[in-house]
């Protein structure tokens, strides 16, 4: 139930954070609760992904993407995720999740979710995702989605780390499909 409470808090405080534009950030503050911990008394790995979901939802809501996808029978869909944990987030500690759309290429968007504890990165979650057109049964070019949002933004070239992430994701995806 607390997941829904956190999502409700994100939804109710949207206006205070203003609109989201590509290149911007979503900043959400949380406290590590007893329902978030594992036997080591720190934030468990599943919670990192759930909190990254809230960062994405904040971006979807503030950018207008969620309304756009509902009107057009589109669906934002995750393609893959990679996480790295640098510092533990212990019970009761406050931390921030800073989420952003880093860049895009064709039909794929690269997202970043940085977990910040006491000013330092505690974890980093990288994602790849796309917007699926259910009617035409295909993923949309992200440039077309950005244009449909009424935003003029251009992607930057992926960094070396982002290229490595995308290659790793592509290889793992091929393995999952049996190629």
How confident is the model over 46-84, as pLDDT tens digits? 999 999 999 999 999 999 999 999 999 999 999 999 999
Both tokens of 174, joined, read 């091929």
Given this model, what pLDDT does residue 57 score? 94
Across the range 135-160, mean pLDDT stands at: 92
Contact 115, 124 (CB under 8 A): yes
Across the range 143-169, mean pLDDT stands at: 90
Both tokens of 165, joined, read 């992430």
Both tokens of 5, joined, read 């409470």
- Helix locations, 27-102, DSSP H: 45-63, 65-72
pLDDT at 164 over 50: yes
CA-to-CA distance for 68 and 74, rounded, in angstroms?
8
């Amino acid at each position: 139930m607390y997941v829904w409470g956190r999502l409700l808090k994100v939804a109710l405080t949207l206006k205070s954070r203003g609109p989201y534009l590509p290149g911007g950030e979503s900043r959400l503050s949380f406290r590590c609760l007893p329902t978030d911990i594992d036997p080591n008394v720190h934030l468990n790995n599943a919670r990192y992904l759930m909190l990254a979901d809230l960062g994405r939802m904040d971006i979807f809501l503030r950018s207008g993407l969620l309304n756009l996808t509902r009107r057009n029978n589109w669906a934002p869909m995750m393609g893959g995720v990679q996480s790295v944990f640098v510092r533990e987030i212990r019970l009761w500690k406050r931390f921030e999740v800073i989420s952003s759309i880093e860049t895009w290429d064709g039909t794929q968007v690269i997202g970043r979710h940085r977990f910040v504890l006491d000013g330092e990165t505690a974890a980093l979650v990288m994602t790849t995702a796309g917007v699926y057109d259910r009617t035409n049964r295909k993923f949309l070019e992200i440039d077309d989605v950005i244009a449909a949002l009424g935003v003029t933004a251009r992607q930057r070239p992926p960094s070396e780390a982002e290229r490595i992430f995308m290659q790793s994701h592509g290889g793992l995806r091929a393995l999952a499909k049996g190629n």
